[in-house]
Chain A
Amino acid sequence: MDVLVPLPVAIPLIAAAGLTATGPVLGRHVDDTVGVATAAATSVLSTLLIFRSLDRDLVYWFGGWTPRHGVALGIGFDVEPLSAALAAFAGVVTTASFVFAWRYFDEVGTLFHVLMLIFLGAMSGFALSGDLFNMFVFFELMSVCAYALVAYQIEAAAPLQGAINFAVTNTIGALLVLIGIALVYGRTGALNLAQIGRTLDGRKPDGLVLVAFALLLCGFLVKAGAVPFHFWLSDAYAAAPIPVCVLLSAIMSDLGLHAIARIYWPAFSGTLGASAGSLRALLVGLGVLTALVGAAMAFLQRDLKRMLAFVTISHVGMLLAGVGLLTARGLAGSTLYVITDGLVRGALFLAVGILIHRAGSGDELRLRGLGSRAPVAGIVLFAGGVLLAGLPPLGSFVGWTLLVRSSASVGYGWLPAVLALATLVTGGTLLRAAARIVFGWGEGEDPLLSHEPPAEEEPRVPASRLSPQLLFGPAVALLAVAIGVAFTPRLGDHATRWAQRLEDRQAHAAEVLAGKLPPAVPPVPVHAGIAPYAYSLASLAGAVVFALFGLYRQRLPGLVRGWAGRLLDPPVTALKALHSGVVGDYVAWLTFGVAALGGLVALLGR
């Protein structure tokens, strides 16, 4: 057993406990130093785990409770490169966020650092765990930290509302997961994912297993923010302090998706294999719906944080469709896309933070022409918009190639076109905001956009205390990493190989439960062909046009405007009205989603 495996969870938790005890005595600089150092150490450790798990999973049994006669007794971590990559990604983003907070927050207590560190530990644990109940515990730990962090600026109304909506909906999501776990345990007597898979393998799925799977799926979709479970997300992300937004948007949403792949392949793919086709249709359909609704809502925002929250929803939907293709290549592509895209979204949130800090507002219209106060933020907004739309061969392009190839291989050749439409809208929306803020283009008022955001609590920072690089550096660094990932040689080929290891559930179970080496799989070459370039470039070109449309929409001829208004106004008004900000409505939608999705899974799984 590799002693490094538990460290990405243990180190942040120990550091958090230590800080709680010593922080109030030692002061702010110690908090910041410990936070940055711990997060950086965690990302280095998780990166090491990627390299150590290249050819075989690292399975770690806590307390030395190894399986006896092929039966898992203890609680285990199961590290494969894709999950280690997600943990490393969490570490990198947390480091950037800590560095940013150093300068961004003037008065921030030790508890902020403590919560962020526990959050990081929980995210690493959630990504690495190979045990269903352990996933639930880390899920809850992560959620509780996140609720508290969203409400960290407790003097304002919006963070309270955001945190309450977030806490209530996500607690119900966690309950769904827990009920699913109880049912699975009742059927199989196992909590280890590989063990569950081995017990269920070859059986025809009965009602109980289908209900359990549907509940687990819904629970994780609440965390990921798929339609109709997404309502909490825009409220929480719009209200949270910027360093927290970065973590939530970049990693937490994506971990919900990762969990779906993580439970489907080892545990449920054997028993649900016969109905994989209908399950695929369901997940892809939900993903496409989420991608389009998120993109449309993003376009309608003027509050930059809320805009980015809807961009997150849209891209999560896109990647849900990617994971939902239920192919190794789709999973590999989605995971790579999640990481690069998450880094870009993190950088964009940081850019908004810089604008709030320098220009005193996070509102697109009020910031019009004020970009000169923070040129770096303007550059990051432009670059981020371009990267969201797609910029071959950089950024998310490797993941995109895999998604395009994978869609074609299972008969969903139309999917990339729809997803490219979503990235066109999200990228275009960001470019619109960037152009309005930096160059002062477009109108100063736009009745189509949602209401003005609540006034931002302006962080007061003594001008000379710390260097401004602390504010700009993290955003630029995250963008640089996002662009640089694409230069890793044969990244797509290797990622597909790793995903195939997860897909081969019998070899995986033998490896986890009996320590048998998996068969060596050579890297799977991906022939990009012309299609991914075409989609990506079309999305980018479309985004530029769409940004101009967003800016100068009101100058279109009156005839066109009137005609388009009659057609589009009712759905736009309805869509806005759905996002009511009332937690009861959100829970009602959640209930509806669970009933619909559960019914469909039960119907299709038969």
Chain B
Amino acid sequence: VSYLPYALAVWIFVVGLYGVVTSRNLIHLAVCLNVMQSSTYVLLLSVGYLRGGTAPIFADVPKGTRAVDPVVQALTLTDVVVSVTVLALLLALAIQVQKHSKTVDPDELRAMHG
């Protein structure tokens, strides 16, 4: 198995993480979080990948055809749903913050500390 997809997943994760830590804009932050989540799609799909495997649909193919693992694909689909939910919620919160504080910079949200 090639290590490339795993290296790619790590790269996407770290890039997203860097964005989240340094972000000065809530919308940018939400998108960076989504980028981090994309790394898990790559990881999951590469875990279940088989060289030369077809899509795991067994309707009209001969018995014993090599197919990639359908379980991880189901997991990825669930993961996508989750990430969209979180993104939508964060963007909704960002809109409220803008309405309320006239800023989307997380560093300027100082209602609570200490």
A complexed with B: yes
Report the Cα distance A325→B57, complex, angstroms.
47
Report the Cα distance A239→B110, complex, angstroms.
13
| Cβ of B51 under 8 Å from chain A | no
A144 engages B89 (CB within 8 Å): yes
Report the Cα distance A354→B97, complex, angstroms.
29
| Cβ of A175 under 8 Å from chain B | yes
Which residues on A sit within 8 Å (CB–CB) of B86?
Answer: 140, 144, 147, 167, 171
Which residues on A sit within 8 Å (CB–CB) of B94?
Answer: 164
- Chain A 155-180 interface residues, beta-carbon cutoff 8 Å to B: 155-158, 160-164, 167-168, 171-172, 174-175, 178-179
Minimum Cβ distance to chain A for residue B35 (Å): 11
Which residues on A sit within 8 Å (CB–CB) of B2?
Answer: none
- Chain A 497-518 interface residues, beta-carbon cutoff 8 Å to B: none
- Chain B 76-105 interface residues, beta-carbon cutoff 8 Å to A: 78-79, 82, 85-86, 89-90, 93-94, 96-97, 100-101
Which residues on A sit within 8 Å (CB–CB) of B110?
Answer: 161, 581
Q: Of the candidates A175, A178, A580, A587, which one forms a contact with B21 in the assembled complex, judged by CB atoms under 8 Å apart?
A: A587
B23 engages A151 (CB within 8 Å): no
Closest B residue by C-beta to A150: B93
Minimum Cβ distance to chain A for residue B23 (Å): 6
| Cβ of A137 under 8 Å from chain B | yes
The digit string for A174-211, where 1 denotes a CB below 8 A from any CB of B, is: 11001101110110000100000000000000000000
- Chain B 44-99 interface residues, beta-carbon cutoff 8 Å to A: 44, 47, 71-72, 75, 78-79, 82, 85-86, 89-90, 93-94, 96-97
- Chain B 24-47 interface residues, beta-carbon cutoff 8 Å to A: 26, 29, 33, 36-37, 39-40, 43-44, 47
Known: A144-B89, A171-B37. A579 touches B114 (CB 8 A): yes
Q: Of the candidates B36, B100, B106, which one forms a contact with A584 in the assembled complex, judged by CB atoms under 8 Å apart?
A: B106
| Cβ of A39 under 8 Å from chain B | no
Binding site of B, secondary structure by majority: helix, strand, loop or mixed? helix
Known: A140-B82, A584-B107. A182 touches B43 (CB 8 A): yes
A172 engages B109 (CB within 8 Å): no
A167 engages B72 (CB within 8 Å): no
How many residues in A have their beta carbons less than 8 Å from beta carbons of B? Answer: 51
Minimum Cβ distance to chain B for residue A593 (Å): 13
The digit string for A563-584, where 1 denotes a CB below 8 A from any CB of B, is: 0000000000000110111111
| Cβ of A364 under 8 Å from chain B | no
How many residues in B have their beta carbons less than 8 Å from beta carbons of A? Answer: 40
| Cβ of B112 under 8 Å from chain A | yes
Q: Of the candidates A140, A178, A239, which one forms a contact with B112 in the assembled complex, judged by CB atoms under 8 Å apart?
A: A239
| Cβ of A216 under 8 Å from chain B | no
Report the Cα distance A140→B86, complex, angstroms.
9
| Cβ of A588 under 8 Å from chain B | yes
Minimum Cβ distance to chain B for residue A206 (Å): 15
B106 engages A582 (CB within 8 Å): yes
Q: Of the candidates B13, B44, B78, B97, which one forms a contact with A137 in the assembled complex, judged by CB atoms under 8 Å apart?
A: B78
- Chain A 545-600 interface residues, beta-carbon cutoff 8 Å to B: 576-577, 579-584, 587-588, 591
Closest B residue by C-beta to A147: B89
Report which A residues bind B (CB closer than 8 A). 133, 137, 140, 144, 147-148, 151, 154-158, 160-164, 167-168, 171-172, 174-175, 178-179, 181-183, 185-186, 191, 234-235, 238-239, 300, 306, 450-451, 454, 576-577, 579-584, 587-588, 591
Task: Other than A144-B82, A144-B86, A161-B111, give 8 A-B pairs with Cβ distance below 8 A.
Answer: A144-B89, A158-B111, A160-B93, A160-B96, A161-B109, A164-B26, A175-B13, A175-B37
> Would you mind naming 28 contact pairs between A and B with Cβ atoms under 8 Å apart?
A137-B82, A140-B85, A144-B82, A144-B85, A151-B93, A155-B100, A160-B93, A161-B97, A164-B26, A164-B93, A164-B94, A164-B109, A167-B86, A167-B90, A168-B33, A172-B36, A175-B39, A182-B75, A183-B47, A185-B47, A186-B47, A191-B71, A451-B114, A576-B114, A577-B114, A581-B113, A583-B29, A584-B106
